[in-house]
Structures are given as structure tokens and as C-alpha cells.
Structure 1
Amino acid sequence: MPRLVFAGSSDFAVPALEALAGAGWEICAVLTQPDRPAGRRRQPAPTPVRAHARERGLPVQTPLTLRDPAAVEALAELRPDMVVVVDYGLILPSSVLELPPAGCINGHASLLPRWRGAAPIQHAILAGDVLTGISIMHMDEGLDTGPVYKMQSTEIGSMETGGELRERLAELCAALLVETLPGILGGRLEPRPQDDTLATYAGKLDPAAAEIDWRDPATTLARQVRAFAPRPGAWTRRRDERIKLHRAVALAECEGEPGEIWRTGPAGIDVAAGAGSVRLLELQPPGGRVMSARDFLNSRAVLGERFGA
């Protein structure tokens, strides 16, 4: 049985680790990022991958960087046939990429070469893409530039949030890795180079991009709300409050200036945009829970008010 090292950190990577371990692959070690401060008390907490590996009794390594010769030596001592990477968060230098005989394989949440980079799920929704998917790629030193073994696409739901799509793609990535690895290790699958002329880039999201600018078109704003839900959460100001917006749809009709709440009712809270209106369906007041627009309106009379700075 080939020896695998699994490298991942976030909750997105957990289904892949679970699927590979459940399928009987020999996982000789799990690489994940070191514990980070979390919660209100900022106590060190393990990554979701480390927590899952601990439950399964898998050995874990947590190097600060893989550019450290000692970290590379520790990895070499494991004699892995392949390193499988899913949302790890650390750069793999050439000394690591060239170490395993079958190379380093990455499960990436886009249909490469579209949306190379750190935030492909959110960027796909922001751009209004109809399709996204998973790419199983042979890693090189570029940013998601390696040749692709296999892809599987899926439609993005018209109301699907970034969090919901992330969960679906995590499961799709896990299944595709289990399906694809035997062919890669057995030499039956050959990767195809990407067409660099079609590449788009999904850089890390600037937290400032989560604030709603009501002068933008309603279609843009509704996508922004979906893409950033549940974290970090698109938000707007109401008086001195910061209100997070978790679900919304775009409407063609509009009355009032951008940011003005011109209609409220059981269906939602309609806010004028630069073109059209945004109907808010789920909101979260400061320190409160996510609630429906109906529940939000039960204790707040906002008709005629204006959201935003």
C-alpha cells in the first residue's frame, strides 16, 4: 500500500482526510498548521485537521514553515510515495515538491485555470459564475499552475451561500481524491497542462470588501451577501450598529436613494441600491443570532431609514 502524507488545516480539508483514511490508505503523517489563538479568551486551539487526526490516532507534524531544513528532513524520514494537499495554507518549496516519487497532489476548489489562489469559492459567487467544481492537480512551484489530472463540476445554486457551497465542495473534493489517487499512483492518469491564457486569480479577500456599498447594483450586492456568508459576513451600518447580512436577493424594482429602506414586510426588507433593490432575508444584529427579516422587524421599525455610512 502506498504511503501518503496528508497536508491540510481547515474544516474544508477534514472530509478528504476522513475519506482517505476510511478507504484504507496508509497515512503515515498529517501535516497541519500550528495551534492558533481562538475564541474570546484567545487560547491556542488546534486546526480542524489536527483535531480529526488526533481522533483517528494519526501522527501529526505542525511545522511553522516547510522552508525549514529540519521540517523537510522530518518529512523525508517518512518516505512518502505521495503528499496530498487540501487547504493547507503553507507554501510547499521545491525541496518538498520533489521529495515523494509520485509528487504532491492538490485538491483545489475551482475549475482550473479559473480562480487560482486563496479564495476561489467566494470569487466564483462574486463573479456570478454558474459552474464551479474541484480540480485534482499535480503541484509545481507556481500558484495553482500545475497540470490537472481530473476535474468535476457542479452548479452553483442561485441562492447558495459561500458556506453552503464550501461544504458541498469539501465532500466533492474528498470523493474525487479517493477516485483519482489509484490512477495517479498506478500511472494510468496523465495530467493535462492548464491554459494560462484563461487564468483568473482569487486573491485573499480584503475584510473591507465585506462592507456593503449601496451605490453598487443590486445583483452585485446580493452576490456579495451570499459569497461572504457566514464568514466574515457582509455588513452594513444602521445608526451606530453594525448589521451582518446573511441572505439576500436582487429585485429590479426600486424606490428611493441607495441605502434607503423603502419597503418592509413578511417577504423581507427591501433596500434601494445603485440599480434595483436588495431584499434582505436574513440578518444578524450585533451580539445576536442570525434571524429572518420578519423576526428582525418584530422589534425594529426601519421603514424609511437608510443603511450605510
Structure 2
Amino acid sequence: MTTIRTIFFGTPSFSVPCLDALTEVATVVGVVCQPDRPVGRGLTLTPPPVKARAMELGIPVVQPTKLRTGAFGAWVRAQAVDVAVVVAYGRILPSDVLAGPRLGCLNVHASILPKYRGAAPIARAVMAGETETGITLMQLDEGMDTGNMIAKFPTPVGENETAGELGERLAKIGADAIRSSFAGYIRGDFLPEKQDDAQATLAPPLKKEEGKIDFTLPARRVHDHVRGVNPWPGAIALLGDKKVKVHATRVSDFSRPGAAPGTVILADKTQVVVATGEGAVELVTVQLEGRKAVRASDWYLGRGVAENDVLA
């Protein structure tokens, strides 16, 4: 067993593959994640995915509610670790925590920095129509993903790939990055690269209201928006007083010149196509409130939608 001692910071399911990878290359003496949260209609107190996995692995878990009291920084120092690995923990670490490990804190960030600094780099990249993103290993400082970069692992973004699908791939790429680069980082094999702040873009957390589809945008942007807010908060349109969740779309070659954005310009047993501000999108999978997700063509066959209906 390696003698490299680490602490792992992470909270959501995205972080779990990286935790697994870290246990293969180091001794993880503790896992830090956010507190349990109430989930579902019953508001059942539920542990985050990283906590659940750490418990399966038999690793002690710490869930601080406050990081800036000094007590947590003292706890980190007491662990006498070589490095901390941070993957989507969800909170900015204060200076005393960053300085606790001998070699500081290594972050696995889900974008090619300096683009998409912040909490939602995957969704924001997809919504922006990026054709490439990736993982950046970086040293944490007190800024928002502003530290020096150690290594980059780019990957293309599929034309119809959702943020959820891309997130699953990036989680695996992040885990492979730890497997391939962690030992070299400890040895000092990498020359840290300063970020160009002038090229930086921000990726703030998504808000629920951002799910609303704006059909006045060009077809490509509508399609990218639907992909970017899948799985959360989900793309939403209104058909009259009915809320329709749109799970998947495609940019369509079909058009009806002069059709107002949001107008259903084609609805038959094979497809449902909606006009946008420029071009049109095919609705592939939709879901009405209280119903299961269905193909849009089945929605038409069930008389849920017809040509000349207007989605807003």
C-alpha cells in the first residue's frame, strides 16, 4: 500500500469515480462532503453520494457546516496528509484549509480552464454550444477556480449529448486523470501553468427558471439549451396551460417560412417540429406533468399536440 496520505473533498455523484480512483493510488484517511440534505416529497434526510460511497469503502467522513471557524482547518492539519484532492465539493476552501496539506489541494475541474470557472461548467459549456471541453487538474487557491493548472484532458462534445451524459463521461475522465497523473504530481513532475485571466469565462450555478425554452432563439441555440439543462432543471415549454418538459431535441431541416417562433409546423406519426427564431427544432422526447416521458410522435398520436399549436 502506498504511503501517500490524502483527504478527499467531494459531494455529488460526479465525484464518486474520482474517489474510487484516488483509493487506488493513495491512502485516503478521510472524506469531506456537504451535510445530508432532505430529499423528495417526504424530505427524507439523505447522505450525498460521496458519503455513501465512502461508507462502503470504510473511510471516515466529515461533514462540516462551517469552514471558516478555524476548527476545521485545525482538523485538516491534524491529518498530516501530503495533499487533498477536491472534486465538486461545492464550497470555496479558506486559506487555512488550503495550507493544511503538505502539497496543498489538487482540484479536478470539469472544463478546460480558464473557460467556465464556477459551479456549473458542464451545463454552461453545453448551453453555449461548445464542441470541446474536458478536465483540468489544477492547484486550488482562494479564488473561484483561479489556481495554476497542472494538466488538461480534452474531449469532444457530441452534437446531441446532454449535460448529464457529458457529466458521466467527464467523471470517468477525471478518474483516469487521477490514475495517470497523481503520482507525477506528488513527485513534482508537472510545471504549473498560470491561467490567463483575460480568457476566463464564468459558469454560475443553474437556476430553476433557466429551464424555460426561448423559441425566439435560433434552432441551434434552442437545441443546445435543452441539452444543457438536462437533467436539471429540465427544459420546459407551455402548451396552453399545460407544462411540457422537453427531454431531447434535434435541429431540423424542415421549415415553414414566416411561422412564428414556438409554432408547431409539423406534427405526424414520425415527428413533431417547432419553429424557432431561425430554423426549427424537432422535439424528440417530451413529458407532460404527472406522465411518463414519451416520443413526441406518440404525443401527437395521443392527440396531445397538433400542427399550428403554439408552445411558449
Task: Please indicate, yes or no, whether the TM-score normalized by the shorter chain is above 0.5.
Answer: yes
Bigger shift: residues 282-291 or 32-41: 282-291
Q: What is the CA deviation profile of residues 24-80 of structure 1, one whole-angstrom value per residue up to 9, with x for unaligned ones? A: 420000000000010110011000000000111110000012112222222222111
Aligned: 1:284 with 2:287:
yes
Q: What is the CA deviation profile of residues 174-193 of structure 1, one whole-angstrom value per residue up to 9, with x for unaligned ones? A: 11012111011111112111
Q: Give unpaired runs (5+ residues) of structure 2.
A: none
Residue of structure 2 in register with 1:2 after alignment: 4
Residue of structure 2 in register with 1:42 after alignment: 43
Aligned: 1:133 with 2:134:
yes
Bigger shift: residues 299-308 or 148-157: 299-308
Q: Give unpaired runs (5+ residues) of structure 1.
A: none
Q: What is the distance in 1 between the residues matched to 2:269 and 2:97? A: 56
Residue of structure 1 in register with 2:110 after alignment: 109
2:281 is paired with a residue of what secondary structure? strand
Alignment of 1:19-38 (within 5 A): 19-21=21-23, 23-38=24-39
Aligned: 1:15 with 2:17:
yes
Q: CA deviation at 1:3?
A: 0.6
1:260–1:272: 8 Å Cα contact kept in structure 2?
A: yes
Residue of structure 2 in register with 1:297 after alignment: 300
Q: What is the distance in 1 between the residues matched to 2:58 and 2:92? A: 26
Residue of structure 2 in register with 1:306 after alignment: 310
1:252–1:275: 8 Å Cα contact kept in structure 2?
A: no
2:207–2:233: 8 Å Cα contact kept in structure 1?
A: no
1:118–1:202: 8 Å Cα contact kept in structure 2?
A: yes
Bigger shift: residues 81-90 or 178-187: 178-187
1:254 is paired with a residue of what secondary structure? coil
Q: What is the CA deviation profile of residues 173-221 of structure 1, one whole-angstrom value per residue up to 9, with x for unaligned ones? A: 0110121110111111121111111111111123222101211111111
Residue of structure 2 in register with 1:196 after alignment: 197
Which runs of structure 1 show a deviation greater than 4 angstroms over 4 or more consecutive aligned residues?
none
Q: What is the distance in 1 between the residues matched to 2:305 and 2:292? A: 19
Residue of structure 2 in register with 1:213 after alignment: 214
Residue of structure 2 in register with 1:170 after alignment: 171
Q: What is the distance in 2 between the residues matched to 1:60 and 1:89? A: 16
Residue of structure 2 in register with 1:57 after alignment: 58
Q: What is the distance in 2 between the residues matched to 1:52 and 1:254? A: 49
Q: What is the distance in 1 between the residues matched to 2:200 and 2:253? A: 32
Q: What is the total number of aligned residue pairs between the two structures? A: 307
Q: What is the distance in 1 between the residues matched to 2:142 and 2:215? A: 40
Residue 306 of structure 1 aligns with an amino acid whose one-letter code is V
2:133–2:156: 8 Å Cα contact kept in structure 1?
A: yes
Percent identity between the two aligned chains: 39
2:105–2:139: 8 Å Cα contact kept in structure 1?
A: yes
Residue of structure 1 in register with 2:119 after alignment: 118
